[in-house]
Amino acid sequence: MEPVLSRDPRTGEVRAEMGLQADTAAVDAAVRAAYATVDLLADRSKRSALLRAAADGVEARAAELIAAADAETALGVPRLTGELARVAYQFRFFADIVDDGAFLGVVVDELDPSAVPPRPALRRWKVPVGAVAVFAASNFPFAFSVPGGDTASALAAGCPVVVKAHPDHPQTSELAAATIRQAAEKAGLPADVLVLIHGYQAGSDLVRHPLISAVGFTGSIPGGRALFDLAAARPVPIPFYGELGSLNPVVVTERAAQARPDEIAAGLVASYTLGQGQFCTKPGLVLVPAGPAGDELTGKAAAAAAAAAPGALLDGRMREHFLAGFAARATAPGVRTLAEAGAAPADGTPQAVRPGLLEVDAADLTGGLLEECFGPVTVLVRYRDTADAEAVLARMAGNLTATLHAEPGESGAAAWLARLSRFAGRVIFGGWPTGVAVAPAMTHGGPYPATTSPTTSVGGAAIERWLRPVTYQTVPPELLPAELAHPGS
């Protein structure tokens, strides 16, 4: 078995060896250990206690967790501090959902012999699907990794979790997993309600395992699609909830460009360089009007991009892909480089890169520019009129987000929003897509390839992925689960 190595993304050097990657036997043992806790997780009060203890646990170990995550991701202490606070809030958010019980979706149809056809007594609710697999993301070592939304929502649903750690932050993953396992024991549950494994092959073995009933994944299109196909090809196929990639287009109207060039330019650059452009909601393509108003906005965006601070990406492989991706896009026909991305070595951060900014006319937009480039770069697409912009939007695949910058009362704004909603799960007006609130109404998902199914991985509805409906027919009340025998009590 290969070792699990923790690396410093700022220098590329190995920090520590964290053990061994899991082989097929180790994956089997991990899944069986988690699966053995399914019945014990049926106690909703203990599930709620587990989630609240997990929130307390990550807060108590915040300094240790943040230090490890910064050393392994170079995302910086301020960003990681906010991300860990989000994790604690999310655990308590799902604990409240568990306590409320509405997620069970209880529906009662009383006996009605006069109905055509006659209706028997029916009671429906939702039950956990079983043990699930969660794949940690590279770019969010807390919020979309071991203690993230997939884990929190699955545990809230009553599903034990086997997490496949991301290789970019193995130490952080171990610390987070230990915190949740300790929280489980404090709540009177086995630690194995969450089990952590490492390794590339372990991911495939995990998806194939017959005791895994569903998968949550955040990552690249190639990796996610390969695992999605594995899940579908099993003798018993299982749901695969994958977040794979998103361009997150932005439309700026001419009136908005005229009224707010400084604000829009500054907001755009801050958004696409946030976290060195490694957000799944980074705006990767921006439609800007041709003409003087668009020229002013573009010039201000170029100046802001040139002044943006360089930084390290999550690992050397991503750095190489970013630099190669920028170079390929910059040399495409008709593309103009407004700020050139490249290596930007600095003291203590020899692997740093500086952000880039590209521009192209809508008529020259090639297919490669419609593909996500992970890292700090975006493409400004200059459009002449509504038809020009519409032609670009017609080429959009599914996206997590789409954004409109228009002025209050501007005619056509409602039509733009309706158009954007056809291919995006979240539509933003006058803001920027980076930043996803944990709230009941949030959707973090979209048509393929943004996600592999029309679900959300953030917000209260995230729990729906780990549940399935069951109906009881003509069952005596004394034999029903308490929530069905006495709904609303």
User: Which domains does the chain show, CATH number per domain?
Assistant: 3-244+451-485 (3.40.605.10), 250-429 (3.40.309.10)
Structure tokens given for 198: 């490492």
Q: Identify the active-site residue in 280, 359, 372, 373.
A: 280
Using alpha carbons only, give the angle 244, 250, 251 rounded to the nearest 5 degrees: 145
Q: Has 110 been annotated as catalytic?
A: no
Helix or strand (DSSP H, E) at 149: helix 149-157
Cβ partners under 8 Å of residue 154, min gap 6: 132, 134, 160, 161, 216, 465, 466
Q: What is the largest CA-CA distance in the chain?
A: 81
pLDDT in the model for residue 48 = 98
Residues in the chain: 489
- The DSSP annotation for 35-69 comes to HTTTTGGG-HHHHHHHHHHHHHHHHHTHHHHHHHH
Quick one: which H or E segment has residue 20? strand 14-20
Environment class of 313 (CB within 10 Å of its CB; exposed 0-12, middle 13-18, buried 19+): buried
Residues 6+ apart with CB under 8 A from 220: 244, 245, 374
* Alpha-carbon gap, residue 476 to 463, rounded angstroms: 29
Tokens 């230990």 belong to 178
In the residue annotation, 280 being an active-site residue is answered as yes
Q: What angle do CA 456, 164, 97 make, to 5 degrees?
A: 40
Q: Which of 72, 83, 174, 243 is catalytic?
A: 243
Distances (CA, A) of 348 to 10, 80, 90, 310, 333: 7, 19, 34, 12, 37
Coil/strand/helix, residue 419: helix
CA–CA distance, 346 with 25 (Å, rounded to integer):
44
Render each residue's pLDDT in the chain as its tens digit; 489 residues. 799 999 999 999 999 999 999 999 999 999 999 999 999 999 999 999 999 999 999 999 999 999 999 999 999 999 999 999 999 999 999 999 999 999 999 999 999 999 999 999 999 999 999 999 999 999 999 999 999 999 999 999 999 999 999 999 999 999 999 999 999 999 999 999 999 999 999 999 999 999 999 999 999 999 999 999 999 999 999 999 999 999 999 999 999 999 999 999 999 999 999 999 999 999 999 999 999 999 999 999 999 999 999 999 999 999 999 999 999 999 999 999 999 999 999 888 999 999 999 999 999 999 999 999 999 999 999 999 999 999 999 999 999 999 999 999 999 999 999 999 999 999 999 999 999 999 999 999 999 999 999 999 999 999 999 999 999 999 999 999 999 998 876
Rounded Cα gap, residues 164 and 166, in angstroms: 7
pLDDT of residue 2: 92
Cα–Cα distance, 148 to 176 (Å, whole number): 10
User: Alpha-carbon distance 171 to 105, whole Å?
Assistant: 39
Neighbours of 122 (CB within 10 A): 16
Helix (H, G, I), strand (E, B) or coil at 254: helix
Query: 408, 195, 200: which is closest to 317 by C-alpha?
Result: 200
pLDDT at 489: 61
Strand order from edge to edge, sheet including 285-289: 336-339, 356-361, 377-383, 285-289, 250-252, 399-405, 424-429
Tokens (6 digits) for 346: 């600095």
Q: What is the pLDDT of residue 487?
A: 84
Stated pTM of the model: 0.96
